[in-house]
Chains A and B, each alone.
Chain A
Amino acid sequence: MSFYQTALLLGFAYGALALGIFISMRIFNIPDITTDGSFTLGGAVTAVLTLHWMPPLLALPVAFACGTLAGMVTGWIHTRLKVNALLAGILVTSALYSINLAIMGRSNLPLFGSPTLFTTLSLPVGSNTNQLIVLTSIILVITFLIGYLLRTDFGLAMRATGNNEHMIRSLGVNTDRMKIIGLGLANGLTALSGYLITNVQGFADINMGIGIVLLGLGAVMIGEIFSRAMLLRSITGQMISVVIGSIVFRLLLGAALTVGIDPLYLKLVVAVFVLITVSLPNLRRTA
């Protein structure tokens, strides 16, 4: 598989994660790091179900639902128990580490010969092209579904919740409930990303989610640079930009590996990269 193909594949698979981060951090303005746990949760659930011969297309909604539940727990802790959002996310992620281990039974679970998403949805093309078509279709469907949702009256209320809580409460929206739903949706997408990655790489691992929130954040920020440059202001346009951001981020990481950076340092590279993207506008201002 070529360098570009890998980047595209992983870019799409992590695209769902990036959309999840876009919803929690940008739409709802909540720094949610349940992500690390719910991503692995999606992978763990997928691996176990696949090994028990559950049709992969059925495992998809189950993984999504599990992630949604995890996000709603964070949302509930944050809104009803008034715990800081970061702490609520850390609590749930930490708890999920044990839960994920319990689900998998051990720390690494290969899918072996079980039917995966790509053996189920198999077009008469090469396996790489097939993976690409399947992943692209799934991400496109998700992007347009959520793009539609965010344009509905309910979606407007969601966006207003993160944008101006005072206003939307005075317009009759229970913002606590809205945040719980929003974090649920965000983490459902994150778990879906875990599902896709598990299908792509053929195994789930207890550590697959470590630091994953930064991958999503990096993608969202590249996407924002892109949507600003392209003047994409519609919500669907912004979401497509986020997916493109995810692919570009994979290309950059791929390039970093090709120039000879030890894969051991990949997380360091990601952290530095996100730091630069976050701080660049501020550095320019002080200069």
Chain B
Amino acid sequence: MIRLEHIDKRFATGTAAEVHALRDLSINVQEGEFVVVLGSNGSGKSTLLNAIAGTIRLDGGGIYIDGHDVTRLPDHSRSRWVARIFQNPVMGTAPDLSILENFRLAALRTKTKKATVGTSAEFRTMVEEHVNTVGLGLEGKLDQAMGTLSGGQRQALALLMAVMDETKVLLLDEPTAALDPRTAHTVMELANRIIQKYRLTTLLVTHQMKDALQYGDRVLFLTEGKISKDVSGKARNELQINDLLRWFEV
């Protein structure tokens, strides 16, 4: 589903502050695979996600999603396949628009936004049912502005929004980093449920070792822009927290 071929990215090229964020990195993620990406700060995890989402341009290499060469496509064109959840809950939703309006835009992620009113009664019922499945206490509040909700509520809604339209790839960049432990747990459980239900090909960047063991079926460890560990299958199931911690010590 996602194929990265020798991707390379440097920041501040030619200056003293040059960072080689991704070094000749290649990987193949199968359809429906749930990959957890670990690594120290500055190891290139977020850069990797941004490269797939298309918010940064590569210096070399190619990116293929669902068989399409997307290397040169801007982020807004890659939304045809890719949905994103940001680290900061504020970034995934529009605060001044209502919950309903946010969902409307999410429902059109892969389509053109036409000059017709799409927030119909029918659509409202559909969103209402969708939102009610998670029990956030937002029943009947679809006209409330998104900005009035808590970070946890916004992150949970962002997850629901991600599957309002056809989604092949879900990118999660430390989705629970800004949330309290209990909310973080709720949001990760919801994410996992959605990923299983829609069989999404997923990349999750996280610093939570517990999450890395609990969720997903493949673990990557990034060191200085390269994949230094790639564990899946039986080996992945036998991983212990201590194994992961040891990776960080090298």
Contacts and interface: CB of A to CB of B under 8 A. Distances in A.
Interface residues of B, number: 36
B109 A171 contact: yes
Contacts of A233: 145
Contact of B76 (A152, A163, A172): A172
How many residues of A sit at the interface, in one of the four size bands?
A: 20 to 34
B105 A156 contact: yes
Given A151-B117, A153-B114, A164 B76 contact: no
A159 B94 CA distance: 9
Interface in A149-183: 149, 151-157, 159-160, 163-164, 166-175
A167 B105 CA distance: 10
A174 B77 CA distance: 8
A153 B108 contact: yes
Given A151-B117, A152-B118, A172 B77 contact: yes
Given A152-B114, A156-B113, A171-B109, A164 B95 contact: yes
Contacts, number: 90
Interface stretch (B83-91, B182-190, B202-210): B83-91
Contacts of B145: 233
B76 A155 contact: no
B108 A169 contact: no
Contact of A170 (B83, B97, B118): B83
Nearest to B147: A163
Contacts of A157: 105, 108, 113
Interface string A19-38: 00000000000000000000
A148 B117 CA distance: 8
B116 to A, nearest CB: 5
Nearest to B101: A156
Interface string B94-120: 111100010011101111011111110
B118 A153 contact: yes
Interface in A68-115: none
A156 B97 CA distance: 8
B95 A166 contact: no
B92 interface: yes
B124 interface: no
A167 B93 contact: yes
A152 B101 CA distance: 10
Interface of B: 53, 55, 74-77, 79-80, 82-84, 86, 90-97, 101, 104-106, 108-111, 113-119, 145
5 contacts: A156-B113, A164-B94, A170-B92, A172-B76, A174-B74
Closest 4 CB pairs of A and B: A172-B79, A153-B113, A163-B94, A157-B113
